[in-house]
Structure 1
């Protein structure tokens, strides 16, 4: 069992704050810790369920700019794909999303290769403005979307911002357009098997702006690891407990955590 590459709960409770931090441009696509466990399955889904995981309302020239930006550090590849964006997405574990600023000032999702969605459907979100990409969070700061949009407006080509998002889930699935099957698995799992079923799901996200088109490139890398591997020391168990219990109740409900509360408590009890 590997040590998970990302442990964002060590930084405290989950939060609505963007938490974006600048990183070197060359780290846009980090060393691919997920390639061995995910890339073959990702490519299979890209081919067999293309209508579910790919959309584009943009000209091929724009897709090619994004593809070149993502793969510039990789050796040439010969495998053919229908579009440049899909060709790039097939070479990295990250999902690739492109947002374009409209004349109304709103950033909209206009193209994406999204094979590891965290409980949303690409077909339902394509073309929507930033504020519509996720269901509303209860008690969320109403100015949050505007603040993020201003940040996007101000981003300059060459800058790369990074953030992490995390949750728990039942099982190790990465293609999860719906949380329903995972919650059903959690409900059917006895407390004694909590550590066998619970997994830590982490999103590593980066945001950058393409120099020619001005599109926003939003990358999402999903890492899924057994919760037992993430909580391999007393310090980690303590940090996770503090983060889990310290997360705002409305945000926890939005993330679907009540469905896992019983199993998380059982897991923490065994590890304490």
Structure 2
């Protein structure tokens, strides 16, 4: 297959693992979830390029609950619900969701743990100059032959000032509302405990 925009070719008969080849054809990260003998969904294969402060080595082979242990309230409130979604997913009807966060790093490839609280020591225009809105478009598709689930992650990241300018008052309002609604655990998970008020003040000045 010739990819003119990338100016390279991918040989589908090369003998490389299919998931690795698929990962070279799309911009999405690809994670393959499979049931174990106890019926729990586990991460059993992946083509990962753009993690957001996690690595495949630490998540590989783990169940959904184990993967999402750092996520506030996931084990208590979301684990069984997500398992039901996985169990009942129809092959002909994929589903999708969006996830967002604010980063003070420009890179898409962030495999290591978070470097600590974000936007430390900055405020106002200096804070906005370092701010990026990172959005993940996640999809779930049940594969027809194996019943495994392909979990895809397409990552978008843009400088926050440009998005606020483009989106206008509606964008400012929505971001302000989203940040204001986060509880203490969510703020801690996203590295924004000490920064939320400064972020809110900065976007209010735009």
Fold equivalence (TM over 0.5): yes
CA contact 1:205–1:220 (8 Å) conserved in 2: yes
TM-superposed deviation, 1:170: 0.5
Pairs aligned (count): 199
Q: Which has the higher contact order (CA 8 A, sep 6+)?
A: 1
- Select which of 132, 135, 153 maps to 1:202: 135
Q: Which residue of 2 aligns with 1:53?
A: none
Q: Which residue of 2 aligns with 1:13?
A: none
State the TM-score, normalizing by the size of structure 2.
0.85
- Is 1:83 the counterpart of 2:17? The answer is yes
CA contact 2:43–2:63 (8 Å) conserved in 1: yes
Distance 1:139 1:110, change over 3 A: closer
**How far apart are the structure 1 equivalents of 2:194 and 2:55?**
21
Unaligned runs of 5+ in 1: 1-35, 41-75
CA contact 1:167–1:255 (8 Å) conserved in 2: yes
TM-superposed deviation, 1:177: 1.8
SS in 2 for 1:202: strand
- Select which of 182, 189, 199 maps to 1:247: 182
CA RMSD of aligned residues (A): 2.6
SS in 2 for 1:118: coil
Q: Which residue of 2 aligns with 1:174?
A: 108
Q: Which residue of 2 aligns with 1:9?
A: none
Distance 1:204 1:135, change over 3 A: same
SS in 2 for 1:120: coil
**How far apart are the structure 1 equivalents of 2:102 and 2:183?**
16
**How far apart are the structure 2 equivalents of 1:219 and 1:263?**
33
**How far apart are the structure 2 equivalents of 1:260 and 1:97?**
32
- Is 1:229 the counterpart of 2:183? The answer is no
SS in 1 for 2:21: helix
State the TM-score, normalizing by the size of structure 1.
0.66
**How far apart are the structure 1 equivalents of 2:50 and 2:77?**
28
Unaligned runs of 5+ in 2: none
- Is 1:214 the counterpart of 2:144? The answer is no
CA contact 2:117–2:192 (8 Å) conserved in 1: no
TM-superposed deviation, 1:247: 2.0
Q: Which residue of 2 aligns with 1:62?
A: none
Distance 1:257 1:81, change over 3 A: farther
Q: Which residue of 1 aligns with 2:78?
A: 144
